[in-house]
């Protein structure tokens, strides 16, 4: 039985490489899709195998050995061990071994082919993806607009530092972050500014009190240049990650979608994007927060998440890493509806999403990939899970059903 599984793993690796290289036949494509559908854990494995960085790391490892000889030796040992061992592998153990096996095979085959052709692994994958999906879309970058109190708009772009003064306050940009420095000690009346990111943009700001805020794409933060009075209040639309400067005498309040999140010294994420259920989701990483809506007030502990809409408030345990993955440069999903996945892609890659008339919901996806890759790279991973196929035409992403489904 184990010998048969080993042979299946070898065949799957061959099909994966053909898929990445763009020379897989329709019959082989169907065979690969069948393998993905029937093999437990294959979705996660596909993510690892199609990771360009992993393949590049494989280049150095395989380039220093006689791959043909070593491969034959390894194969002989694996099959011999399977034949003589009296210990049966359970399903989970077998798949873990097969995963390592497949990754090694895929790296070796892709690297050896691209080296002979004088191409890089990354360019081979990207060329294949572009051919498969039509056009492509580049990932978002650090860019935003600063709207001052008098309505003047300043465009902030990646890696371009500048310094300017407004209302006696020093403001500068550095390392893709807008920074406010107080000169008047926070006693005078202050103007309000707005930092806003477009689709395909993200940016960060250090407020006058030292609080740091990271804005996701299609978001805005409205805040005073100086915090006066007995509280520090800002207004958020979209999504942001907050690291609140401690000040027990002056709580920090984030107003988002008819909800107030109150903190003193805390790290949390607020997602208030407009969606079908008009819900706002706040996830607490460190400290404590109080979430207040028209109908309730709840205290939130680290590792918890509160979801509130116009009528209800629900608190639950949360995967903080999942909620804050965007801030760490990742797309990360855990059994997420495809509609939620493509909504994030739409904002980050600045594309319009449309569904083919024959496509049927619901579909769900689990996976992780870096946000700095072209859209086609991410679509490869999605398509290998067997939930849909995709086409890109200029700035429109079309979602289609798998052939025969």
Asked, for residue 354, whether it belongs to a domain, the answer is yes
159 or 203, higher pLDDT: 203
Cα of first residue to Cα of last residue in the chain, in angstroms, is 31
Report whether pLDDT(33) > 80: no
Distance from C-alpha of 405 to C-alpha of 395, rounded to nearest angstrom: 26
**DSSP tag of 183:** S
198 and 117 inside one domain? no
Identify the burial level of 110 via C-beta atoms within 10 angstroms of its C-beta, where 0-12 means exposed, 13-18 middle and 19 or more buried.
buried
Could you say which of 259, 291, 323 is where a domain stops? Answer: 323
Asked, for residue 318, whether it belongs to a domain, the answer is yes
- Token readout for 333 is 């999903």
The pLDDT assigned to 380 comes to: 85
Distance from C-alpha of 313 to C-alpha of 296, rounded to nearest angstrom: 7
Which residue segment(s) compose the domain that 379 sits in?
329-400
- What is the phi-psi region of residue 134: left when phi exceeds 0, alpha when psi lies from -120 to 50, beta otherwise? left
CA 362 to chain CA centroid, nearest Å: 21
User: Once rounded to an integer, what is the mean pLDDT over residues 42-60?
Assistant: 50
- Token readout for 315 is 């608190």
180 and 222 inside one domain? yes
The pLDDT assigned to 22 comes to: 59
124 and 148 inside one domain? no
18 or 25, higher pLDDT: 25
CATH code, 356: 3.55.50.30
* Among 147-151, 183-187, 238-242, the least confident range: 183-187
23 and 97 inside one domain? yes
3-state secondary structure at position 188: coil
The pLDDT assigned to 70 comes to: 41
The pLDDT assigned to 350 comes to: 96
Distance from C-alpha of 305 to C-alpha of 62, rounded to nearest angstrom: 45
Asked, for residue 405, whether it belongs to a domain, the answer is no
271 and 372 inside one domain? no
Could you say which of 85, 101, 133 is where a domain stops? Answer: 133
Torsion of CA 280, 282, 288, 289, to 10 degrees: -20
Mean pLDDT of the chain: 78
- What is the phi-psi region of residue 335: left when phi exceeds 0, alpha when psi lies from -120 to 50, beta otherwise? left
- Token readout for 190 is 């202050």
The pLDDT assigned to 129 comes to: 54
172 and 289 inside one domain? yes
User: Once rounded to an integer, what is the mean pLDDT over residues 76-85?
Assistant: 47
334 and 310 inside one domain? no
CA 39 to chain CA centroid, nearest Å: 25
- Token readout for 83 is 């034949």
Could you say which of 323, 342, 367 is where a domain stops? Answer: 323
Distance from C-alpha of 120 to C-alpha of 14, rounded to nearest angstrom: 19
318 and 189 inside one domain? yes
* Among 9-23, 154-168, 282-296, the least confident range: 9-23
**DSSP tag of 226:** S
Distance from C-alpha of 405 to C-alpha of 37, rounded to nearest angstrom: 13
Distance from C-alpha of 139 to C-alpha of 281, rounded to nearest angstrom: 25
Asked, for residue 190, whether it belongs to a domain, the answer is yes
Report whether pLDDT(171) > 80: yes
User: Once rounded to an integer, what is the mean pLDDT over residues 200-211?
Assistant: 96
3-state secondary structure at position 26: helix
Asked, for residue 345, whether it belongs to a domain, the answer is yes
Asked, for residue 299, whether it belongs to a domain, the answer is yes
Give the long-range contacts of residues 252-258, CB within 8 A, separation 24 or more.
252/209, 252/211, 256/280, 258/293, 258/294, 258/310
104 and 8 inside one domain? yes
- Token readout for 52 is 């360009």
Asked, for residue 293, whether it belongs to a domain, the answer is yes
Asked, for residue 217, whether it belongs to a domain, the answer is yes
151 and 280 inside one domain? yes
Does the predicted TM-score (pTM) go above 0.75?
no
Indicate the number of domains in the chain: 3
User: Once rounded to an integer, what is the mean pLDDT over residues 265-291?
Assistant: 89
The count of other CB atoms within 10 Å of the CB of residue 318 is 22
Assign 283 a pLDDT band (cuts: 50, 70, 90).
Answer: very high
Report whether pLDDT(122) > 80: no
Q: C-alpha angle with apex 67: 61 to 72, nearest 5 degrees?
A: 130
Report whether pLDDT(90) > 50: no
**Kind and range of the H or E element at 212?**
strand 212-215
Distance from C-alpha of 57 to C-alpha of 278, rounded to nearest angstrom: 43
Measuring CA to CA, which residue among 333, 338, 311 is closest to residue 323?
333
192 and 170 inside one domain? yes
The pLDDT assigned to 359 comes to: 81
* Among 40-44, 110-114, 270-274, 310-314, the least confident range: 110-114
306 and 367 inside one domain? no
User: Once rounded to an integer, what is the mean pLDDT over residues 222-243?
Assistant: 95
CATH code, 282: 2.60.120.1440
Report whether pLDDT(109) > 70: no
């Amino acid at each position: 039985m184990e010998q048969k599984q080993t042979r299946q793993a070898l065949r799957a690796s061959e099909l994966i490489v053909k898929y990445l290289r763009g020379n897989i036949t329709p019959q082989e494509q169907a065979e690969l899709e069948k393998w993905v559908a029937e093999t437990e854990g294959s979705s996660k494995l596909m993510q690892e195998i199609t990771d360009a960085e992993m393949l590049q790391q494989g280049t150095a490892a395989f380039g220093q050995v006689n791959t043909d000889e070593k491969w034959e030796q390894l194969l002989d040992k694996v099959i011999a061990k399977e034949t003589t061992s009296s210990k049966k592998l359970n399903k989970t153990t077998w798949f873990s071994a097969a995963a390592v096996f497949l990754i090694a095979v895929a790296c070796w085959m892709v690297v050896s082919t691209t080296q002979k052709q004088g191409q890089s692994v990354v360019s081979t994958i990207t060329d294949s993806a572009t051919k498969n999906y039509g056009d492509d879309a580049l990932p978002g970058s650090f860019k935003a607009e600063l709207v001052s109190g008098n309505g003047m708009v300043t465009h902030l772009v990646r890696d371009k530092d500048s310094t300017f003064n407004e209302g006696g306050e020093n403001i500068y940009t550095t390392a893709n972050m807008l920074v406010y420095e107080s000169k008047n000690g926070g006693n005078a009346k202050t103007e309000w500014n707005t930092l806003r990111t477009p689709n395909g943009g993200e940016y960060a700001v250090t407020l006058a009190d030292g609080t740091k805020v990271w804005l996701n794409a299609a978001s805005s933060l409205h805040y005073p240049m100086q915090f006066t009075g007995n509280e520090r209040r800002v207004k958020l639309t979209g999504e942001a990650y907050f690291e609140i400067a401690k000040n027990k005498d002056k709580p920090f309040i984030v107003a988002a979608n008819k909800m107030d999140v109150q903190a003193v010294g805390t790290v949390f994420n607020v997602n208030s994007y407009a969606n079908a259920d008009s819900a706002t989701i706040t996830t607490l990483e460190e400290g404590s927060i109080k979430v207040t809506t028209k109908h309730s007030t709840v205290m939130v502990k680290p590792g918890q998440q509160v979801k509130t809409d116009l009528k209800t408030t629900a608190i639950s345990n949360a995967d903080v890493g999942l909620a804050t993955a965007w801030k760490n440069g990742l797309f990360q999903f855990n059994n997420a509806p495809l509609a939620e996945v493509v909504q994030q892609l739409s904002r980050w890659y600045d594309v319009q999403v449309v569904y083919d008339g024959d496509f049927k919901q619901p579909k769900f996806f689990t996976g992780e990939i870096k946000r700095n890759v072209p859209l086609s790279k991410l679509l490869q991973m999605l398509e290998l899970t067997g939930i849909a196929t995709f086409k890109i035409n200029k700035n429109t992403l079309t979602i289609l059903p798998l052939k025969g489904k």
